[in-house]
Amino acid sequence: MQHPPPDLGTIPLIPGFPTDANQIISSATSLVLAFAGLIFFAMLVMGGFRFLTAGGDEKSIQEARKSLTNAAIGLIIVVSAFAISQILFTIFGLNSLISITNNP
C-alpha cells in the first residue's frame, strides 16, 4: 500500500515582491546598479585616503591617482549601463527603472 506524497501547500509571496518578469528584471538591474555605485564610492574614498596619506612619495601618489582614475572609469561604465538599460527597456516596451522606482 503506497501513500500519496504529503501536500506541502504553496509558499506565500512576500507582499510587494516582484512577480512579473518585467519587475524582476528592473529590480535586479537597479540592485546591480546600486551595488556598483557603492563600490565606486568605496573606491573613491580609498583612493582619496591613499592620496592624502602618500606623504609626497611619487609611487604612492601614482597608485592613488590610478585608483581614482579607475573609480572614475567605473562610474562612467555604471552610468552608461544605466543609460543602455533605459534604452533597452524603451525598445522592448518594458517599464523603465525610473518609472518603477517612482511609482511603486
Contact yes or no for 9/36 (Cβ under 8 A): no
Binned at pLDDT 50, 70 and 90, residue 8 comes out as low
Look over the chain and give the mean of its residue pLDDT values, rounded to a whole number.
Answer: 80
64-79 confidence digits (pLDDT tens): 999 999 999 988 988 8
Residue 16 lies in a domain: no
- ∠ CA 97-103-104, rounded to 5°: 95
Residue 1 lies in a domain: no
Q: Which domain holds residue 84?
A: 23-102
Residue 28 lies in a domain: yes
- Number of domains composing the chain: 1
Residue 5 lies in a domain: no
Report pLDDT for 49.
Answer: 93
22-47 confidence digits (pLDDT tens): 777 777 877 888 898 899 899 999 99
Residue 98 lies in a domain: yes
pTM (two decimals): 0.64
DSSP state of 20: S
